[in-house]
Amino acid sequence: MRCRLIDCFAILSLIILSSACRKTVTNTMTAGATVYVAGNGANSALYWKNGITTVLPKQSPNNYSTASSIFVSDTDVYVAGSEYTGNINTGVAINAVYWKNGTEIMLTNLPKAQRAFANSIFVSGGDVYVAGYELTSDSVGIAVYWKNGALVNLTPLTPPYPTPPTPPVNTIGSYHLFDYAQAFSIYVSGNDVYVSGYDQFFKAAYWKNDVKTQLSDEYQISNANSIFVSGNDVYTAGWLNDSAVYWKNTEVTYLQDPMPAQAYSVYVSGSNVYVAGGQDGYAQFWKNGTVTNLQSGDASWANSIFVLDNTVYVAGGKTDIPQYWKNGATTNLPIQPGGLASAYGIFVTNP
C-alpha distances (whole Å) from 16 to each of 7, 93, 308, 334 are 15, 13, 35, 20
Residue 3 lies in a domain: no
What pTM was estimated for this model as a whole?
0.90
Residue 193 lies in a domain: yes
Q: What is the pLDDT of residue 203?
A: 96
Q: How many domains does the chain have?
A: 1
Residue 258 lies in a domain: yes
CATH number for the domain that contains residue 302: 2.130.10
Residue 156 lies in a domain: yes
Please list, in sequence order, all residues whose beta carbon lies within 8 angstroms of the beta carbon of residue 45, skipping any fewer than 6 positions away.
38, 39, 55, 56, 58, 65, 66, 67, 79, 81, 83, 99
Per-residue pLDDT of the chain (351 residues; tens, 9 = 90+): 333 333 333 333 333 333 333 332 333 444 589 999 999 998 999 999 999 999 999 999 989 999 999 999 999 999 999 999 877 677 789 999 999 999 999 999 998 878 999 999 999 999 999 999 999 989 999 999 999 999 999 999 999 999 998 887 666 678 999 999 999 999 999 999 999 999 999 999 999 999 999 999 878 899 999 999 999 999 999 999 889 999 999 999 999 766 789 999 999 999 999 999 988 778 999 999 999 999 866 688 899 999 999 999 999 998 789 999 999 999 999 998 877 789 999 999 998
Residue 312 lies in a domain: yes
Whole domain around residue 129: which residue ranges? 8-349
Residue 2 lies in a domain: no
Residue 150 lies in a domain: yes
